[in-house]
C-alpha cells in the first residue's frame, strides 16, 4: 500500500483535480485506490459524485476518533475508486484536536487498520500547512506537489519543504518527496516554460516527466461528479492523468526492485 499526500499550501494549483483524475486513472490501470478528502471544502467528495449534504459520517469523525475509516468509506460509482468523504465539519477538527495526545498521528493510525486493502491511498490536502496537513504528511510514504509554473510558485515551495523536513525530524523519518507535478501547463506561455525549466534544473528527476495541460474538460468534469476519464476519455486532460498513473506505477515498481 503506497500512501501519497497530494499537497501544496497554495490554493487552486490542481491538488483536487489531480487526486480525482489520478484515482480514476490508477483504477483503469488495475490498481485498488482509496481517495481521502482532507479538505473541509469537500471538492474531492463532490468531484467524485458524492453529495456532501447527505453525509452523516466523514473523515472528520475518523480524526476525532468517533468512527473507523472503514465505516466512512464509500465507493465512487463512476470513478470506481473508494473515497473517504469530507464536509465543512472538518474545519472544526483543528480546534478539537489541539489538546489531544497523538493529534498528529490520528490518520496514520486509522490507515493502519486497512491492512493493505489498497494499492494506492491518495490524500487530498487543504490549502494550508495545518494540523490536518501534518496528519497527512505523518501518514504518507511520500508527497506529491502539484504546482502551476508561474512566478511565485517557487517561493511557496520552500515553506512546504521546511514543513516536510520538520515532519521528518519529529513524526515520519521515512517521508519522501515523490515528485513535483506541473499542472495547468500552457506551452505557449514563455514564463511557464522558463519556470518549468527552472524546476527541472533544481529538482531533476523529482519533476514528473508527465505534464498536465490546461484543459477545459478537466475543469468541467467535477460539475458532473465525474473524473475526466469518464466525462471525456479522449480529452488531453484525461489522457495526461492516464500517463501520470503509468509514470507513478513505474516509479513504485522501480522502488520495489531496489528494496529487494
Task: Report in angstroms how near the CB of residue 183 gets to ligand ATP at its nearest.
Answer: 5
Residues 195, 157: Cα–Cα separation, whole Å: 13
Q: Is residue 10 at the binding interface for Mg ion, with CB under 5 A as the rule?
A: no
Q: Provide the edge-to-edge strand list for the sheet that holds 82-84.
A: 74-75, 82-84, 33-37, 120-124, 2-6, 142-148, 176-185, 207-213
- Footprint (CB under 6 A) of ligand ATP, residues 173-232: 183-184, 212, 214-215, 218-219, 222
Segment 28 to 67, residues that bind ligand ATP, using CB under 6 A: 39, 41, 43
Q: Which is nearer to Mg ion, 43 or 148 (CB)?
A: 43
Stretch that binds ligand ATP, among 9-17, 25-33, 194-202, 228-236 (CB under 6 A): 9-17
Nearest-CB residue for Mg ion: 16
Number of residues that bind ligand ATP (CB under 6 A): 20
Which among ligand ATP, Mg ion, none contacts residue 14 (Cβ within 5 to 8 A by kind)?
A: ligand ATP
* Residues at the contact surface with ligand ATP, assessed by CB under 6 A: 11-17, 39, 41, 43, 127, 183-184, 212, 214-215, 218-219, 222, 237
Amino acid at each position: 500500500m503506497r500512501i501519497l499526500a497530494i499537497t501544496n499550501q497554495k490554493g487552486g494549483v490542481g491538488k483536487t483535480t489531480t487526486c480525482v483524475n489520478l484515482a480514476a486513472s490508477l483504477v483503469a490501470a488495475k490498481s485498488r485506490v482509496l481517495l481521502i478528502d482532507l479538505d473541509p471544502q469537500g471538492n474531492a467528495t463532490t468531484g467524485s459524485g458524492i453529495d456532501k449534504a447527505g453525509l452523516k459520517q466523514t473523515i472528520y469523525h475518523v480524526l476525532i476518533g468517533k468512527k473507523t475509516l472503514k465505516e466512512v468509506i464509500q465507493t465512487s460509482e463512476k470513478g470506481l475508486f473508494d473515497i473517504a468523504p469530507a464536509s465543512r465539519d472538518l474545519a472544526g477538527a483543528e480546534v478539537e484536536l489541539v489538546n489531544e495526545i497523538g493529534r498528529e498521528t490520528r490518520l496514520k493510525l486509522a490507515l493502519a487498520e486497512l491492512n493493505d486493502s489498497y494499492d494506492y491511498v491518495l490524500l487530498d490536502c487543504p490549502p494550508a500547512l495545518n494540523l490536518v496537513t501534518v496528519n497527512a504528511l505523518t501518514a504518507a510514504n511520500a508527497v506529491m506537489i502539484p504546482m502551476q509554473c508561474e512566478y511565485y510558485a517557487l517561493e511557496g515551495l520552500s515553506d512546504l519543504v521546511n514543513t516536510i523536513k520538520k515532519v521528518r525530524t519529529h513524526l515520519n523519518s521515512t517521508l519522501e518527496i515523490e515528485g513535483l507535478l506541473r499542472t495547468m501547463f500552457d506551452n505557449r506561455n514563455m514564463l511557464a516554460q522558463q519556470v518549468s525549466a527552472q524546476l527541472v534544473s533544481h529538482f531533476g528527476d523529482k519533476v514528473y516527466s508527465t505534464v498536465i495541460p490546461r484543459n477545459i474538460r478537466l475543469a468541467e468534469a467535477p460539475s458532473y461528479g465525474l473524473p475526466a476519464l469518464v466525462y471525456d476519455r479522449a480529452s488531453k486532460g484525461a489522457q495526461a492523468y492516464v500517463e501520470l498513473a503509468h509514470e507513478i506505477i513505474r516509479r513504485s515498481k522501480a522502488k520495489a526492485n531496489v528494496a529487494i
